[in-house]
Structures are given as structure tokens and as C-alpha cells.
Amino acid sequence: MAPGMVKTCAIFFFTLLFSLPLGLIFTFLHTSKNRVISGIMHFIISVLRGTPLMLQLIAVNFGPWYLFGIETIREKLIPVVIAFSINYAAYFSEIYRGGIESIPVGQYEGATVLGYSKAQTFFRIILPQVVKTILPSVTNEIITLVKDTSLASTLSYAEIFLLSQQYSNTIQQFTPLLVAGVFYYVFNLVVTVVMSRVEKKMSYYKI
């Protein structure tokens, strides 16, 4: 089952790698002053958050074939990561937006007085405060991600949950599924510990 654990970790790390920055891009588009762009982004986020991740996995994997006749990718990790990244980017986007909107207007006004540009204001003043504010919500999403990796089995991607099911059926025992459960629990425990330490390091100031 070790290969399944490696593949589960791959889904987790690649999803975070792409979804965290993509979520920020979604936020910028969603809060754009252009009503067309913000409206389109609002609709996209609504669809991504309002439909099952399993359905999105199927759409990303088989959609190109049904729509354009393009053969499905043999390496299932690619469509899995694409679907997971887009889905979680939508959730992170809403978390980012809530964090940004919680920052007092005085922060922006003070930055303007000091001569900061909009980009400097956001990345040097606003973003550090936003990160501190949203960490608990981001942690919850990351913990959910660990468990959601099991949905990759929908595309027959041999992560730990699928392998444990197959192995359990083969030997007619529950032990493989129990091992998978322990793996998810330990994985989430590590995530919780790491994120708790990050939160403590970010607690050197209060908004």
C-alpha cells in the first residue's frame, strides 16, 4: 500500500501548490471593478462550490473526449490535480476575499499617505494581515483536502483508498481499510500540528 500513500501525498501537495495562488487570482477577478469579469468569476466560483468534486473530476477527465474528441490523458494524476486545484481554488478564493474585506479601510488610506502603490499596499501591508486572519479557515480546508484525496479513486487513480479497497476485497479482511484510516488520521494530525505552529509564528501582532 506504500505506492498508494505516495500517490495520495502527490495529490495533496500538487493541489496546494496550484490552488493557493490560483485562489488569489480568482479573488482578484471576483473583486474586479469590471462587472463582466467579476460576474463571470462569481458564476464560475458558484458552480465549483455548488457541484460535487467527484463530478468535476469526471468532467475534467472525460470532458475533452466528449466535447472535442481529444483522448483522455493516461496519467490520471494530471486530471486529478487539475480538478482538485480548480475546486479548492474556488474555496480558497472565498476565504481570501473574506480576509481582504475584513481589513479596515484605514490600512489602505495609511499606505496611500506613505506613498505606496496599490501592489505594494497589497503585498506588503494587506496580505500579511490577511494571511494571519485566514489561517484557521485555510487549515480546515487543508484538512478536508487530505480526506478528499480519496475521491481520486473515481478515475481509478491508485491512491491509498482505492488500493486498500482492492486489497481488502482480495484477502477478505478489513485490515487494509483500517490501515488507510490510520494513514489519513496521522496525515491530518501532522497537518494540524504544522498549521498550529504557523499560526503561533504569525501571532506576533494583532489586527
Q: What pLDDT, on the 0 to 100 scale, is given for residue 71?
A: 75
Domain chopping of the chain, boundaries? 2-201
Is the pLDDT assigned to residue 2 strictly greater than 60? yes
- Of residues 22 and 110, more confidence is placed in 22
In this predicted structure, what is the pLDDT of residue 204? 58
Question: What gap in Å lies between CA 102 and CA 197, rounded to an integer?
Answer: 23
The model's confidence at residue 35, banded by pLDDT at 50, 70 and 90, is very high
Residue 98 CB neighbours (<10 A): 14
Q: At residue 173, what is the residue type?
A: Q
What's residue 207's pLDDT?
46
What is the tens place of the pLDDT at every residue in 73-123?
A: 778 899 999 999 999 999 999 999 999 888 888 888 888 888 888 888 888
Its pTM surpasses 0.75? yes
Q: What are phi and psi of 157, to 5 degrees?
A: -80, 125
pLDDT in tens, 123-177: 888 888 888 889 999 999 999 999 999 999 999 888 999 999 888 888 888 898 9
Give, in words, the CATH class of 2-201.
mainly alpha
User: Which residues, including other chains, have CB under 8 Å from residue 45's CB and lie 6 or more apart?
Assistant: 26, 30, 90, 93, 94
